[in-house]
Structure 1
Amino acid sequence: MDERTALGLLADRLPTAGDDAAVVDGQVVTTDMLHDRTDFPDGTTRYTAGWRAVGASLSDVAAMGAAATAAVAVYAAPAFDERELVDFVDGATDVCESVDAEYVGGDLDDHVEFTVATTALGRTDDPVLRSGAQPGDAVCVTGRLGRSAAALRLFERGEIERANELFRFAPRIDAGRALAGHATAMMDSSDGLARSLHQLAEASDCGMAVESPLPIDESVDAVADGTDDRLELGAFFGEDFELVCTVPEDELATVHADAPVDLTRIGTVVEREALGAADRSRSRDGDAPANRVTLDGEGFPDRGYTH
């Protein structure tokens, strides 16, 4: 079974799970695992790997509207190379410092494949969950989409330096803090914009009507093969770690006034019934209603990154 099926199997046994991170007495905790084979294309530096691996967990903290405090990592590899190990720790340290958190160490182990398991900690007394979206809320996303997809194309072309730059994304801790207290639902877009919208809609039992143009990064234009490929890279590839959220219409201006947030409105939360009879159809991967989310009035497939 794939990751989503496995998570569904465990849902009844872990009733408090389901958001980007767990919150226990104001302490936010999340953990992730990345592998050389699936997460680090040929050419990924160890510095980028450290930044990206720890950044992925910090992104989950951001999605809860929390302040990041610290991170640790397990570093496993077939052999320990001094330069690679130092570069990894430098990347992990620098991404933590970029969000006013601290990298405090971890564990070392040997393994047949370079593998990283990361844990990030944060604090909030008012976490933003996935389940609070209400009809009439604005659907928004931070930043620009498709950077990781563009990076993968550049790795394949041998443009290693630029690819590594795009792979080192900024965890949206500041944006998450600015949205906390305003956003009714929020998560990060690690599985892709389309899948994230479906997950928010499912958790909140609503629909989402999204409209073009989507905020797709200019780096995608340099590698995309036409309009359809551009949408594929921007909306379905995933691994962008932007925040996808819903905000009451009358609070959007306040969000922008409170802090400089690169936030784009892409649609509106609607009642599921408002999407019409097509909502009862299935998406192309068969596991969710195709039109729980629409793009320009057409079904926006529940498709994205799958482990």
Structure 2
Amino acid sequence: MTQNPKDSPAEKEGLHPRNPHRFQYNFKQLIQSYPALKSFVKLNKYNNESIDFADPSAVKALNKALLIHFYGIANWDIPKNYLCPPIPGRADYIHYLADLLGSCNGNVIPTGKNIQGLDIGVGANCIYPIIGAYEYNWRFVGSDIDLVAINSATQIIKSNDSLRNGIECRLQTSRSDIFKGVIKPGEQFDFSMCNPPFHASLAEAQKGTLRKLNNLGAKKITKPVLNFGGQNAELWCEGGEEGFVRKMIEQSALMPTNVFWFTTLVSKKDNLAGIYKTLKKVKAVAVKTVDMAQGQKVSRIVAWTFLNKTEQKNWQRKRWMEVRNNKY
């Protein structure tokens, strides 16, 4: 049967080729999966179906629909004012991580429960582990300094059968530590990932949110209502993004054999010079930068390892060889 061109959404620019969100949202299908989304869908100025991305309730409803439709997550919610992440960009990080692992495994992506990732700052939404568990059947440990976020993510896991045996949440009780207190003695992770706080202060975070909201809508907005939500620890920290990432790099050097690839998002290109300088200082064996783009938004993943070629090969042989046969 020939498909109607109107039923074939246009492909978005820049998203990973395995990202299921690389096409424009099919709101008819999403509403079938989550009928409550219907009340938020309107025609925009281009006469296309869309939602008001400045409306937190609309964004949350869209996320629920996407999680049901693409990932089979029927029970997902977050506390009020916590980060409601844009799922397409989060999925891109996961798929590029898969490529990174595959590049060290004969270009075959290792999948299955033997592969374990550490999500630094899992948040109340638990999005990265949800996507990684569904797409590649990886196991995850998610850490956070916020007990409310940990309890929320744990509730999401308990409420969905597909997540119960593959994701564990751990509270980081020290605000000065990132890996210590989370990684257990002798525990190994095939990768760590992090979406670090973007801003250096609450005022900067609020200013950035107002700018984003005014770019989204026609009305001038002066009150910093967050369309994607966000608590202080999710949005800002002393030193901002660069300060957080540089601290992460310094602390990763204290656990060089516990993680194959340490990775983080870096949103601000100007922060790269200081980050590379810190990586050189701690004598990272290999550093990779993966560019990502979603429309006009450009970001990148910075990855580093302390394992030499022999250690990488031994890791790959020990943990990945048994999962080489997969659909990728």
Higher relative CO (Cα under 8 Å, sequence separation at least 6) belongs to 1
TM over 0.5: no
What's the TM-score once normalised by structure 2's chain length? 0.24
Which has the higher Rg, Structure 1 or Structure 2?
A: 2
Give 1 or 2: higher strand fraction.
1
What's the TM-score once normalised by structure 1's chain length? 0.25
